[in-house]
Amino acid sequence: MRTLDGSHCTAPGGTILGHVHGEWDRDKRGYKTVKVESVAFAELGGKTHSAAIDADGIYELRHLAGLYVPNSLVDEHRYFSLGWAYSHPSIPSAYEGICNELDLTVRDYQITGRLLPGIGPSVNVELTDVQSLSKPIRADSIEPDGRFYFHKIKPGEYVLSVVANIGGTNRSVFYPGVTDRAKATHVVIHEEGSGRSYDFEERVLPVVPIPLALDPVANSDKYLWDFQLREGGNVVSTRRVEGTSTGLLYGMRDAVYQLQLYGYPRKPLEDNYCQSLPVSLTATVGMAPIHVTARCAPGDR
């Protein structure tokens, strides 16, 4: 047993540690036993950090600071998952001098492919049977590293698509990166699976990443910061920043947005709320980080 009392969560950076286990076994009322030797976390836009998984299924990474995505792919049949079916887990962050517990579940998959880190909340990935044209089958998971997974698909011939819906605008792209369904490459699924990865290049996706940078102000650690992406006065996407000065949102390709930053005090009876002036931007591939500075209301104590 290990405790999260902070005694070993020393600066510089923070600590991410957790338990790696299999899926829940209803009959045995416990987690299935799995054997995985290591796990790797990629710093968003930076280097990769690896950690061994001990005999008890515990891993630990120290001296981290910023946003990190676990490399979800384990092998040709398994992956690390942070969430459950149809969920879009957020990108984990490491705080200065703080322990952050992050358990990983090893799950089986039949089909996988790669998009972009942090894209999960902005898109759905779907398989549609070519013969029956029945209701699309949605991916069971899109992990923070941008990989999507389908657990069990019956053999057949399918069209694979990425569907974006931000601000009420629907846009689809079909594998390997066309907008015309008739020109899509069909995905043939066999009972045993192929081990192939169906990857989409950034240039073909209907959404683009918008990197964010919080320019710290005095006493920034007293606040939780929300980046909000607005279109026509409506909030179409939001990202909370805590313990780090970076963030990531997604917008529809070539769309024009207003970005605004809001600060919510951890102790609202002592500190006032903050917000920035709106920043106009056009969502394009390869954007430089958008810097935003919050202004706190007069009388901040």
Q: Which of 130-139, 147-156, 217-226, 273-282 has the lowest mean pLDDT?
A: 217-226
CA distance 237 to 231: 9
Rounded to an integer, the average pLDDT of 154-158 is: 91
Rounded to an integer, the average pLDDT of 169-184 is: 93
Which pair of tokens denotes residue 144? 């923070």
For 239-258, what is each residue's pLDDT tens digit?
Answer: 887 767 788 999 999 999 99
What does the pLDDT read at residue 26? Answer: 76
**pLDDT(11) > 70:** yes
**pLDDT(299) > 60:** no
**pLDDT(172) > 60:** yes
Higher pLDDT, 92 or 54: 54
Q: How far is CA 157 from CA 109, 130, 251, 268, in A?
A: 18, 6, 31, 56
What does the pLDDT read at residue 87? Answer: 56
User: What is the bridge-based pairing of β-strands 141-142 and 187-189?
Assistant: unpaired
Residues in contact with 7: Cβ distance below 8 Å, sequence separation at least 6, in sequence order: none
Rounded to an integer, the average pLDDT of 175-192 is: 90
Contact 243, 100 (CB under 8 A): no
What does the pLDDT read at residue 293? Answer: 86
Domains and CATH numbers, the chain: 14-108 (2.60.40.10), 111-202 (2.60.40), 207-296 (2.60.40)
Contact 158, 126 (CB under 8 A): no
Q: Which residue bears the tokens 């996988």? A: 112
Which pair of tokens denotes residue 209? 């990443």
Question: CA nearest 164: which of 127, 121, 202?
Answer: 121
Confidence of residue 88 (pLDDT cuts 50, 70, 90): low
User: What is the bridge-based pairing of β-strands 256-265 and 279-282?
Assistant: antiparallel
Question: CA nearest 110: which of 154, 173, 174?
Answer: 154
**pLDDT(121) > 70:** yes
What does the pLDDT read at residue 164? Answer: 93
What does the pLDDT read at residue 197? Answer: 93
Contact 20, 104 (CB under 8 A): yes
| Three-state SS at 246 | strand
| CA gyration radius, the chain | 21
**pLDDT(107) > 90:** yes
Confidence of residue 300 (pLDDT cuts 50, 70, 90): very low
- Beta bridge mates, 257: 281
CA distance 256 to 138: 29
Which pair of tokens denotes residue 259? 């970005």
Contact 43, 49 (CB under 8 A): yes
CA distance 53 to 195: 24
**Backbone φ and ψ of 297, nearest 5°:** -65, 150
Tally: H helices and E strands in the chain: 0, 28
Which pair of tokens denotes residue 57? 């299924």
Which pair of tokens denotes residue 70? 């676990």
Q: What is the mean pLDDT of the chain?
A: 86
- Beta bridge mates, 248: 211
What does the pLDDT read at residue 85? Answer: 46
| pTM, full prediction | 0.88
For 22-63, what is each residue's pLDDT tens digit?
Answer: 887 777 777 788 899 999 999 887 889 999 999 888 999 988
Query: In this structure, which amino acid lies at residue 25?
Result: D
